[in-house]
């Protein structure tokens, strides 16, 4: 199943990250490349792929994050600069780029965006309040005062289609583009399984009890750093009790309506973009019958 933000082809060379000498050698490699990011957004080259510059263009006071080695063995870096804030803001230009970017390119951008944003928002030690320093080639930070190690966050989120008698439940967030509906979603909390989180979230947001939760696929989502876990579930009723603090509206849609929406035809809702796993879930749902 094809999902967005997957298929990055860099070798992440985890075994080298903790080796300061090896990382210094990669940084000193004249072939080393730096991903071009502008306020967290990628730049595209003439072929519509991610643009890279030489590591020589890195800021002298920036922190270099080793994304990995490309197929030719060239070291690939991203950098976090002192003024970066790592906010979750997304521009219209970014949305347009994501519409065009191949999934594998988006995966590499996604890793870079998640990591640079995490560094920008985690310059201090949550354990003691002191300033932290980059560690393990950008895959951690370490506190020189209390020795605590901190690792980039990946927050698991469940995203699901609950089905009741041939119709699937979609919801919309208040700030979304007009007409857009998508799969319900929510963060997995401490002390619950993926399956329990699916049931809790659908009940919290729409007042619907579900069972029979089935995993479908997963996707990294770099705004700022989620692991989206996509699932199907069976609803016990189609009576909605919407929590308007969580979603603005929810609707039940048929497979024909979803097919029309995905095909860009006249439909009761605008579907999520192709690079969102909700799109992949809808495609998988209409394919099954």
Please, which residue, 130 or 179, has the CB nearer to its own copies?
130
* Rounded CA Rg of the chain: 21
Using CB under 8 A as the binding rule, whether residue 154 contacts its own copies is answered as yes
The single residue among 6, 76, 169, 252 that binds its own copies, judged by CB under 8 A, is 6
Q: How far apart are CA 136 and CA 106, in angstroms?
A: 24
Quick one: tokens of 153?
A: 């966050």
Using CB under 8 A as the binding rule, whether residue 124 contacts its own copies is answered as yes
| Rounded least distance, CB 267 to its own copies, Å | 28
The single residue among 40, 42, 75, 110 that binds its own copies, judged by CB under 8 A, is 110
Of the candidates 139, 17, 36, the one whose C-alpha atom is nearest the C-alpha of residue 79 is 36
Q: How far apart are CA 204 and CA 158, in angstroms?
A: 13
Of the candidates 37, 228, 7, 13, the one whose C-alpha atom is nearest the C-alpha of residue 117 is 37
Please, which residue, 148 or 270, has the CB nearer to its own copies?
148
Q: How far apart are CA 45 and CA 97, in angstroms?
A: 11
| Rounded least distance, CB 5 to its own copies, Å | 7
Phi, psi of 271 (to 5 degrees): -80, 165
**Interacting residues with its own copies between 219 and 238 (CB under 8 A):** 219-220, 222, 225, 227, 229
Quick one: tokens of 210?
A: 């579900």
Using CB under 8 A as the binding rule, whether residue 108 contacts its own copies is answered as yes
Using CB under 8 A as the binding rule, whether residue 150 contacts its own copies is answered as yes
Please, which residue, 229 or 261, has the CB nearer to its own copies?
229
Quick one: tokens of 173?
A: 């967030």
Using CB under 8 A as the binding rule, whether residue 185 contacts its own copies is answered as no
Of the candidates 287, 201, 289, the one whose C-alpha atom is nearest the C-alpha of residue 243 is 201
The single residue among 29, 41, 196, 238 that binds its own copies, judged by CB under 8 A, is 196
Using CB under 8 A as the binding rule, whether residue 75 contacts its own copies is answered as no
- The Cβ of residue 227 has, within 10 Å, a number of other Cβ atoms equal to 14
Site residues for its own copies per CB under 8 A? 3, 5-6, 8, 12, 14-15, 107-108, 110-112, 114-115, 118, 121-131, 139, 148, 150-156, 187-196, 200, 204, 215, 217-220, 222, 225, 227, 229, 243, 245
């Amino acid at each position: 199943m094809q999902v967005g933000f997957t298929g990055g082809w860099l070798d992440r060379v985890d075994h080298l990250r903790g080796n300061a000498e090896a990382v210094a050698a990669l940084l000193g490699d004249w072939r080393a490349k730096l991903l071009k990011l502008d306020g967290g957004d990628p730049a595209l080259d003439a072929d519509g792929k991610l643009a890279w510059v030489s590591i020589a263009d890195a800021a002298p006071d920036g922190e270099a994050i080793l994304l990995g080695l490309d197929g030719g063995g060239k070291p690939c870096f991203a950098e976090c600069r002192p003024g970066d804030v790592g906010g979750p803001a997304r521009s219209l230009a970014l949305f347009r780029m994501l519409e065009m970017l191949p999934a594998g390119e988006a995966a590499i951008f996604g890793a870079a965006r998640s990591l640079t944003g995490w560094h920008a928002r985690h310059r201090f030690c949550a354990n003691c309040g002191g300033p932290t320093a980059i560690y393990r080639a950008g895959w951690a930070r370490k506190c020189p005062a209390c020795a605590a190690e901190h690792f980039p966050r990946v927050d698991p989120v469940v995203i699901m289609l609950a089905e009741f008698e041939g119709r699937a439940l979609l919801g919309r967030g208040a700030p979304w583009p007009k007409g857009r509906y998508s799969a319900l979603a929510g963060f997995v909390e401490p002390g619950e399984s993926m399956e329990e989180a699916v049931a809790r979230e659908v009940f919290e947001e729409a007042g619907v009890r579900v069972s029979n939760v089935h995993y479908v696929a997963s996707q990294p989502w770099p705004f700022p750093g989620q692991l989206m876990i996509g699932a199907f579930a069976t609803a016990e009723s189609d009576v909605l009790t919407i929590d308007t603090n969580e979603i603005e509206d929810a609707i039940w849609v048929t497979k024909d309506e979803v097919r029309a929406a995905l095909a860009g035809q006249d439909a009761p809702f605008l579907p999520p973009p192709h690079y969102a796993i909700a799109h992949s879930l809808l495609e998988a749902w209409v394919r099954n019958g």
